[in-house]
A and B are shown apart, each in its own frame.
Chain A
């Protein structure tokens, strides 16, 4: 796949050019990636385990050197610099707080290496602690803090030196679900308050989409797609990306009509009428991606020629706020539909075995050629 380059903003802070990392001459952990991150933005690298995102992050931090390619920070080539020479700081997944030092000393650690004057150092550390709301906990040791508190210390410590680039390695990975939600917002608030540019790595796409302004979906060492969260979600560029982020239904079919303002795709299940043109030819094989929440269900047959199909309810999963239905279509395809529970449950609600019609608008789908 061709390397994907994100926005070429003049306000670029971090530039990665053609970086690869090969272990032991065989294992290609990172495969020729390039990317730009603008000043002040939060950039997320998403992917499942082993996709290379952590390796890439470590190369930004300096713990690994790229086998090929260069990394530029503020225009300066930092590829060969050691971690302690870079104006980059990292927050580790395990927090890596020094167990033999107090919270205060942990945060002060990096500042001491810079040789700050005593008064200035104290001021900075206190400011950091109050930023994460742990001012009263300065004297405690890490094991005397809860998981969430430890995370805040780790954040304070990584921000203390006012780094040019902040790296977050699975920042919410160690927290339980409830805590994760509130921490997400807190984290973003603090980062934006400080104004530091941030690259974060996560396997949780929800985390990436809520926190970041741009995300890169990674798989097997290279970028599948780079864009804003809604771009990646609503306009995936391939089946891989479409199915990685969120849930999706993919219909396989052939292009029938190909006009500048619309195309139709004939699939075994139904015929799609897509409200925009694509660069393709009639007869071409394409996939049509349709998100579950964009589908409506009704008991009556819709009054239109395209964009509907019929099936039987085979599975209902109740999530409280929304319900997911699995509709088995006549061709055997399993259609996932998600509906918000706007009203409470009634006796008229859909149940297992019901025949139902699923329909959607002409702007609900994305045509995939890869």
Chain B
């Protein structure tokens, strides 16, 4: 009985999770402007979206921003993770850990408003920075750093710390240890962290709303302002494109990981089988 109960629960929740996504895709092909009454199949919303300059500009800005945010997040996340895991006790460690933890759960509005106030104050005293992509980047990079730190820390903990000692024993100075041993071994976590922070940045509405300036309207901001007004099928078109791209990416990476894991298991088994013979 538990099996049946389990299965139905799983299916029910999965349906709940996917209905909105399916609706988005289905209605992107709907001929009607009132996007909930089905009148016919069409590609016209895709064509519209492709010519929509506001959407395209937003997309480009969001992609640039997400890329830069991902990069900064991984860099600072690596520093934070490394210091928290490998440096033992030091003055201010608790504070660093709290500062790294807080943005994980802090509501975006608080981050947004606090950064905005600081930037305005800086502008008053120092004359810069002007609000724009750079300022949004700061907000995204802060939140990204926290997420990247968590991902990288969990990978760092998995690595046998004797490996780094062995490297030093064999003649590596600390920086060489990091570059030749630590970095290659956490590479997968760095990639995951990048993808995660890229997505968070690409998706963000609130921080961008607080910290953007003229000419730095991100794609989510465009969508958000339109969505407030009502339903717009071009949004469905954009949504479907994003969904397809992301799905392909997620499925591809899952398959890759699965295959790599299987190959490794096989190799280990072979090694032991050979020794027996």
A interface residues (Cβ-Cβ under 8 A, vs B):
61-63, 82-84, 88-90, 92, 94, 96, 98-100, 109-110, 113-114, 140-141, 143-146, 148-149, 157-158, 161
Complex contacts, A109 vs chain B, CB 8 Å: 167, 170
Minimum distance in angstroms from B268 CB to a CB of chain A: 5
Taking a contact as CB atoms under 8 Å apart, the answer to whether A157 and B170 are in contact is yes
Complex contacts, B169 vs chain A, CB 8 Å: 61-62, 83-84, 88-90, 158
Taking a contact as CB atoms under 8 Å apart, the answer to whether B160 and A96 are in contact is yes
> Closest chain A residue to B274 by CB distance?
A146
B84 an interface residue at 8 Å Cβ cutoff?
no
Taking a contact as CB atoms under 8 Å apart, the answer to whether A96 and B165 are in contact is yes
Select which of A82, A92, A113, A143 is within 8 A of B162 by beta carbon: A92
Contact with A along B153-193 (1 / 0, CB 8 A): 00000001011011111111100100001001100000000
CB<8 Å pairs between A and B, sample of 10 = A62-B169, A82-B168, A83-B169, A96-B163, A96-B165, A99-B163, A113-B172, A141-B267, A145-B271, A146-B271
Contacts A96-B165, A143-B264 given; does A84 touch B172 at CB 8 Å: yes
- Interchain CA distance A148-B274 in the complex, whole Å: 12
Complex contacts, B162 vs chain A, CB 8 Å: 92, 94, 96
B125 an interface residue at 8 Å Cβ cutoff?
no
Is the contact region of chain B dominated by helix, strand, or loop, or is it mixed?
helix
- Interchain CA distance A148-B160 in the complex, whole Å: 19
- Interchain CA distance A110-B176 in the complex, whole Å: 12
Complex contacts, A90 vs chain B, CB 8 Å: 165-166, 169
Interface size in chain B (residues, C-beta < 8 A)? 24
Taking a contact as CB atoms under 8 Å apart, the answer to whether B184 and A63 are in contact is no
- Interchain CA distance A190-B122 in the complex, whole Å: 68
- Interchain CA distance A140-B274 in the complex, whole Å: 13
Contacts A143-B267, A144-B270, A146-B271 given; does A100 touch B168 at CB 8 Å: no
B16 an interface residue at 8 Å Cβ cutoff?
no
Complex contacts, B160 vs chain A, CB 8 Å: 94, 96
Minimum distance in angstroms from A124 CB to a CB of chain B: 13
> Closest chain B residue to A87 by CB distance?
B171
Minimum distance in angstroms from A189 CB to a CB of chain B: 20
Minimum distance in angstroms from A200 CB to a CB of chain B: 15
Complex contacts, A161 vs chain B, CB 8 Å: 170-171
Between B168, B267, B272, the greatest number of chain A beta carbons within 10 A of the residue's beta carbon is seen for B168
Between B165, B264, B271, B275, the greatest number of chain A beta carbons within 10 A of the residue's beta carbon is seen for B271
